[in-house]
Amino acid sequence: MNADDLIYLTPYLPQWADMAALEIKQIKNILQDLDIEKIEHIGSTAVPGLASKPVIDIAIKVGRIENGKDAIRPLESFGYLYLAENSDEKHMFFVKGLPPHGDGRTHHLHFYERDWFDRHT
Q: List, in order of start, the domains of the chain with CATH numbers.
A: 3-120 (3.30.460.10)
- 115 or 102: whose pLDDT is higher? 115
CA 87 from centroid of its chain's CA atoms: 13
Given a cut of 60, whether residue 104 has pLDDT beyond it is yes
**Residue pLDDT, tens place only, 28-67:** 999 999 989 999 999 999 999 999 999 999 999 998 888 8
pTM of the predicted protein model: 0.90
3-state helix, strand, coil in the chain (%, to 5): 35, 25, 35
d(C-alpha 86, C-alpha 8), whole Å: 20
The pLDDT mean for the chain works out to: 91
d(C-alpha 59, C-alpha 84), whole Å: 16
Given a cut of 90, whether residue 116 has pLDDT beyond it is no
State the pLDDT at residue 100. Answer: 79
State the pLDDT at residue 82. Answer: 94
Which residues, in sequence order, are CB contacts of 81 under 8 Å at separation 6+?
94, 95, 96, 98, 101
∠ CA 6-27-25, rounded to 5°: 105
Confidence category of residue 80, pLDDT binned at 50, 70, 90: very high
